[in-house]
Amino acid sequence: MGQRFEVEPSRVRETSRERETAAGCAARLAREKALEVSGRRRARWVLGADTLVVADGVSLGKPGTASAAAAMLRRLSGRTHEVVTAFALVDPAGRVFGERVVVSEVRFRRIEPAEVDAYVAGGEPLDKAGGYAIQGGAAAFVAELRGSHTNVVGLPMAEVEAMLRAAGLWRAGARRVTSPIGERYRAVVERVGEAAERCGRRPQEVTVVAAAKTFGVEAVREVIAAGATDIGENYVQEARRKAKDLPRDAARWHMIGRLQRNKAAQTVTLFHLVHSLDRPELARELDRSAFRAGVRARCLVEVNLAGEPSKGGADPGSLDVLLEQIAPLRHLEVLGLMSIPAPGTLDESRRSFARLRALRERLAGLRLPNVRLKELSMGMSADFEAAIEEGATIVRIGSAIFGPRTGG
């Protein structure tokens, strides 16, 4: 962060109280830790923090023993849980300047018993909430992450930076956590949260994919540093070049452009999610490639709602047949629908979003194997708030984050 900290362990006993929520418990412990250290280290600013992992309403703290860590990992295997981090800032007079709670959602893939045993034997999870560390070996267990990535790694850095700046503690000349690209990303995330809350949804229900077409790897580094976890690319080769220059697992890559069958083998090993499956021939090629690579291809079916000949996407009237052809493929999973509205007004885009949502709801009734229509990828820089209000779970944002494109 470019800031200097001294680490001072607190003497607060980390226990919960009866009928206390996870967020309330984490906030109380962060505050108590900061105040306790402040009482011993007078005339200092103190930042205290606490993290809890919550599964099915039950808070999972630090396991302490190998058997407890293994039990926690078995509980989290194949399921979604929350990572709740609270932090509190206490001024030199011992007063709480500010406090904040940040929640991220993490879904683990199914973890084999041998994997649990091997991970626990390494000793990494014993002092980590929930029995795992995403910045270590447990990164391989994560199938999906919604919300702040840094919150799951340690502290929610953008939120911490904002509080330090508000307190006047951000050292002049220090490297910013967020560059101009990062600042625009955080502004988009804030707008996404506000749009979700307006329609009674949680911000964590919406994934922001930073659409990086034509922008270089430095721009991608900047948006990842600001907390982005999902990067969208239109071309396989462009994504491969950027991924090669970034740390492994720095982000989840999304294929959001038209996909050629001859790129299937490269696609299944690089991309977390393909948004542009639109024909059975492509589905079969992705399935074969996934089988050879020992993975499972995760896809969305692209729908051409307006019947535009210049765009890819399946005809809405053919979706039943297409899904029935895809369903028997054992190494491919359809997780939802994607669409790009035809050029028009915001109201026209909103009607397209509502139509895609209705299609998803109808098709979900088919109950086909390997088809779980939980995702709606719709909405871009000009209309993502309307898309969220109509049910989008993924929005693809380019210019609102990276600025105007200069080519491509």
Please provide the DSSP assignment of 61-123 as one string.
----SHHHHHHHHHHHTTSEEEEEEEEEEE-TTS-EEEEEEEEEEEEE-PPPHHHHHHHHHTT
Active site residue 278: no
Asked if 217 and 359 sit in the same domain, the reply is yes
Last residue of a domain, one of 108, 142, 166: 166
Q: What is the pLDDT of residues 1-35, one digit of tens each?
A: 455 677 888 899 888 888 889 899 999 999 999 99
Asked if 159 and 187 sit in the same domain, the reply is no
Residue 13 resides in a domain: no
pLDDT of residue 182: 86
pLDDT of residue 1: 47
The label of the residue with tokens 């982000």 reads 251
Asked if 356 and 258 sit in the same domain, the reply is yes
Asked if 219 and 352 sit in the same domain, the reply is yes
How much of the chain, in percent, has pLDDT values that exceed 70? Answer: 96
Residue 376 resides in a domain: yes
Asked if 262 and 342 sit in the same domain, the reply is yes
Residue 5 resides in a domain: no
Q: What tokens were used for 392? A: 């989008």
Average pLDDT for 285-300: 96
Residue 50 resides in a domain: yes
pLDDT of residue 362: 96
Asked if 72 and 144 sit in the same domain, the reply is yes
Average pLDDT for 74-101: 92
Which is more confidently placed, 49 or 162?
49
Asked if 117 and 222 sit in the same domain, the reply is no
Asked if 126 and 258 sit in the same domain, the reply is no
Asked if 194 and 82 sit in the same domain, the reply is no
Q: What tokens were used for 123? A: 């000793």
Q: What is the pLDDT of residues 339-392, one digit of tens each?
A: 999 999 999 999 999 999 999 999 999 999 999 999 999 999 999 999 999 999
Asked if 284 and 200 sit in the same domain, the reply is yes
Q: Which domain holds residue 86?
A: 22-166
Claim: this prediction has a pTM higher than 0.75: no
Residue 4 resides in a domain: no
Residue 218 resides in a domain: yes
CATH code, domain with 363: 3.20.20.10
Cβ neighbours, 10 Å, residue 283: 25
Q: How far apart are the first and last CA of the chain?
A: 34
Please provide the DSSP assignment of 362-402 as one string.
HHHTT--TTEEEEEEE---TTTHHHHHHTT-SEEEESHHHH
The label of the residue with tokens 């989008």 reads 392
Residue 300 resides in a domain: yes
- Looking at residue 343, its amino acid is P
Please provide the DSSP assignment of 107-166 as one string.
EE-PPPHHHHHHHHHTTGGGGSGGG--TTTGGGGGEEEEES-HHHHHSS-HHHHHHHHHH
pLDDT of residue 304: 95
Which is more confidently placed, 135 or 56?
56
Average pLDDT for 191-219: 92
Asked if 36 and 142 sit in the same domain, the reply is yes
Does the structure show a pLDDT above 90 at 204?
no
Last residue of a domain, one of 140, 166, 192: 166
Q: How many domains does the chain have?
A: 2
Calculate the average pLDDT of the chain.
89
The label of the residue with tokens 């083998």 reads 265
Average pLDDT for 258-280: 96
Residue 56 resides in a domain: yes
Asked if 154 and 293 sit in the same domain, the reply is no
Q: What is the pLDDT of residues 47-85, one digit of tens each?
A: 999 999 999 888 888 888 999 999 999 999 999 999 999
pLDDT of residue 173: 52
Average pLDDT for 279-305: 97
CATH code, domain with 94: 3.90.950.10
